[in-house]
Amino acid sequence: MDHSSLIDTFSEFKELKNIDRATMIRVLEDSFRSVLAKRFGTDENFDVIINIDKGDFEIWRNREVVNDGEVEDENLQISLSEAKKIDPDYEVGEEVTDEVKFHEFGRRAVLSLRQNLSARILELEKDNIYHKYKERIGDIITGEVYQIWKKEILILDDDGNELILPKTEQIPSDFFRKGDTVRAVVIKVEIRNNNPLIILSRTSPVFLERLFELEVPEIFDGLITIKKIVRIPGERAKIAVESYDERIDPVGACVGMKGSRIHGIVRELRNENIDVINFTTNNQLFIQRALNPAKISNIKLFEDDKRAEVYLKPEEVSLAIGKGGLNIKLASQLTGYEIDVYREMEEDDEDVKLDEFKDEIEDWVIEELKKVGCDTAKSVIDLSVEDLVKRTDLEEETIREVMNILRAEFE
């Protein structure tokens, strides 16, 4: 293998691996020097000149001229008679520079060079991928599904780099086939088993935030700020936004004309229900907005333990709690308050507060019922056993016992 074909191989390798010119030259030089050091014991007296553009390289060795018979190291010294064969003007003490033909080292040296270079290139490539994606944590990546496993999906980016989308980071209703295009956000980059591991997510609140930045120019430009996002992936999300320009309605801008802006985000998130809320430092008003679409009659705040008691008309309670308790759960996460929902007592002399049954029903059971807005006997009886099982953490048997005790009060 001659100089030219050897360097051509490395040039092609450089193009494939997308390694910058300066780094490639440094790696090539280091690889040559590694072979020289093994062969001659040192590489310090060699000059390695590489020209990738021309597909050529040169290796020059520098040796000191000594008297005939005084050569102790042929790599570092050259006898006067040998030096004069190169140039008759050389004298003792001067330095002779002569070219070394690498291909004359033999096939084994060339193979060693290629192996050394391959290992260095692979290491550099891994390092480049790691640092490239380390800087892109929080960015949306678009890739193609390459392989689907039970616990994760392998995705390839535009450069063919491997990215992982774990099952736990997929929206429950996500379904992908090989070749599908996927959008997700980079949430973690680490080295595992000496290889870069890039983890993507479609369930992270950051993914929803980036989607809003893409769809809403005012957010991208900084005119509207996202204060906080909470979500239960694939089910429901709440996003609090604030505008620094009084002329801009932050909620309207995020939703768009006839929902044009938010529809694209909803589709990307598999029809996840998204509530956009106007942020305010008035905690009572913020809680009221967070519990939308329920209309609240009254709110009592307990700042010491960050708790809020919310009172609503009976027909509004189910709206405040939401399907499966999602609305009140997300409202609590968004506002930072533990929200307890209570029905407004109507003029009903026959109804009895649950606290009146403490001698028959355990306190923790009563508290669990209060959490879902059931603070009177009739508010519990009006619901079905199945509904209460879904809304609370109570066992069906416990609920039936409570029902029997409460019904007995009105018989």
Please determine, for residue 308, whether its predicted confidence score (pLDDT) is greater than 70.
Answer: yes
Angular region, 399: left φ>0, alpha ψ -120 to 50, beta rest:
alpha
Amino acid identity at 226: I
Half-sphere exposure of 111 (CA within 13 A, CB side): 3
Count of C-beta atoms within a 10 Å radius of residue 96: 18
Which stretch of 50-59, 62-71, 323-332 has the lowest confidence by average pLDDT? Answer: 50-59
- Report d(CA 275, CA 237) in Å as an integer: 6
What confidence score (pLDDT) does residue 133 get? Answer: 95
The alpha helices in 256-371, defined as continuous H runs, are 260-268, 283-290, 314-321, 326-335, 363-371
Does the pTM of the predicted model rise above 0.85? no
User: What is the rounded distance in angstroms from the CA atom of residue 176 to the CA atom of residue 96?
Assistant: 67
Confidence of residue 1 (pLDDT cuts 50, 70, 90): very low
CB of 137 closer than 8 Å to CB of 188: yes
Question: With pLDDT > 90 as the criterion, what percentage of the chain qualifies?
Answer: 50
The pLDDT confidence band at residue 337, using thresholds 50, 70 and 90, is very high
- Within 89-165, residue ranges assigned H as helices are 107-134
The secondary structure of residue 259, as a DSSP letter, is G
Q: Is the pLDDT of residue 9 over 60?
A: no
- Does residue 132 sit in helix, strand or coil? helix
Question: Which of 120-129, 206-215, 395-404 is predicted least confidently?
Answer: 120-129
3-state helix, strand, coil in the chain (%, to 5): 45, 25, 30
The mean per-residue pLDDT over the stretch 143-169 comes to: 95
pLDDT tens across 101-140, in order? 877 777 787 777 777 777 877 888 888 899 999 999 999 9
Lowest mean pLDDT among 58-67, 236-245, 342-351, 356-365: 342-351
> 152 burial class (0-12, 13-18, 19+ CB within 10 angstroms)?
middle
Q: Which domains does the chain show, CATH number per domain?
A: 3-131 (3.30.1480), 136-203 (2.40.50.140), 354-410 (1.10.150)
* Residue 280, burial from CB neighbour count under 10 angstroms (0-12, 13-18, 19+): middle
Average pLDDT over residues 41-53: 85
% of the chain surpassing 70 pLDDT: 93
